[in-house]
Amino acid sequence: MSENEKEGSMILEVNDLHASVEDTPILRGLNLNVKPGEVHAIMGPNGSGKSTFANVIAGHEDYAVDSGSVLYNGIDLLDLSPEERACEGIFLAFQYPVSIPGISNAYFLRSALNAVRRYREESEVDAVDFLQLVRSKMALVGMDEKLLQRSVNDGFSGGEKKRNEILQMAVLDPKLAILDETDSGLDIDALRIVAEGVNALRGGDRSFIVVTHYQRLLDYIVPDHVHVLSQGQIVRSGDKTLAHELEREGYSWLDSGDKPKKSEADQKVQEAS
């Protein structure tokens, strides 16, 4: 395969990415390649930079990119504003979804959908068509329709907020979805429902980056690749069995600098080329 063809087949290519928050370096040379249709899991201890990575991809201005590059479908992602990235098909399900009092969930979501559609030069959806669309998607994530008229995430329980994120994802139809700790704060039933919602959206060319601290979610959303993030770098990559291994061994080996006993699942950490 030629170098060009290989590039063309990636939805996301992160090369030697360095990023900092308030002048503190957090990401220190992160490399990651995601192909269309793949599900990647990023695991790692608290503070390893998982959310930072998600925010950098989404374009949060508090996170400064110091060096490295990010290509999205071959274009320079770092050149785009957060809303352009969203309209280009990048979706971030937040670890801590923000509430917006005074704006109904339905109104917010329709505004978002129409903003994305305008960008794509598609016609806007009216209230009736929207309601039809959103209802079908709500069924997918097992969400109570009453939540449509409530203010965005305002007074929502942890589980309701996470479902709302997945609902938004389902409506906005992204090409690359990043789920940041979508499992945290969910009980096992809610977790299953959310995971089923995500699985229903899998398929085709849609790619996912599932960020999680725990292996549990990955029993439901089975990843193609698993990466371990530590101190701002991906230190190991493997297939889904790597997640189980981490579950057994924990993350303490990262501090000691020793890797756990090499397993079958281990693959070569991808080097930046």
Ligand X SMILES: Nc1ncnc2c1ncn2[C@@H]1O[C@H](COP(=O)(O)OP(=O)(O)O)[C@@H](O)[C@H]1O
In this structure, what DSSP letter does residue 95 have?
S
The count of chain residues that interact with another protein, using the rule CB under 8 A, is 32
| Contacting range for another protein; rule: CB under 8 A; set: 32-40, 96-104, 129-137, 204-212 | 96-104
CB of 213 vs ligand X, minimal distance in Å = 7
What dihedral angle (degrees, nearest 10) is formed by the CA atoms of 105, 106, 109, 111? -120
Q: Is 121 in the site for another protein (CB under 8 A)?
A: no
- CB pairs under 8 A, 24+ apart, for 153-159? 153/97, 153/98, 153/99, 153/100, 153/105, 154/99, 154/100, 154/101, 155/99, 156/97, 156/99, 158/184, 158/185, 158/186, 159/185, 159/186, 159/187, 159/190
* 233 lies in the binding site for Mg ion (CB under 5 A): no
In this structure, what token pair is assigned to residue 92? 């971030």
Question: Quick one: what does residue 168 bind among another protein, Mg ion, ligand X, none, with the CB cut-off 5 to 8 Å set by partner type?
Answer: another protein
11 burial (CB, 10 Å; 0-12 / 13-18 / 19+) is buried
Question: From the list 18, 35, 60, 259, which residue makes contact with another protein (rule: CB under 8 A)?
Answer: 60
Q: Which partner in Mg ion, ligand X, another protein, none is near 21 (CB below 5 to 8 A by kind)? A: ligand X
Which partner in Mg ion, another protein, ligand X, none is near 46 (CB below 5 to 8 A by kind)?
ligand X
Q: Which residue has the tokens 């969910």?
A: 186
Residue 48 binding target from ligand X, another protein, Mg ion, none, CB below 5 to 8 Å by type: ligand X
Q: Would you count residue 81 as binding another protein (CB under 8 A)?
A: yes
Number of neighbours of residue 57 by Cβ within 10 angstroms: 23
Residue placing its CB nearer to ligand X in the complex, 50 or 110: 50
- The type of residue at 43 is M
147 binds, among another protein, Mg ion, ligand X, none (CB under 5 to 8 A by kind): none
CA distance linking residue 177 with residue 155, whole number of Å: 25
Which residues contribute to the site for ligand X (CB under 6 A)? Answer: 21-22, 26, 44, 46-52, 62
Q: How far is the CB of 220 from ligand X (least distance, A)?
A: 21
Calculate the alpha carbon distances from 175 to 34, 85, 215, 254, 262 in Å.
12, 11, 24, 32, 34
List the x/- string, 169-208, binding to another protein by CB under 8 A. Answer: ---x------------------------------------
**Are the C-beta atoms of 24 and 63 separated by less than 8 Å?**
no
Q: Does 168 help bind Mg ion (rule: CB under 5 A)?
A: no
| Residue among 204, 200, 245 at smallest CA distance from 226 | 245
Q: Using CB under 8 A as the criterion, which residues of the chain lie in contact with another protein when the complex forms?
A: 58-62, 81-83, 85-87, 91-92, 94, 97-98, 100-103, 107-109, 111-113, 115-116, 119, 151, 168, 172
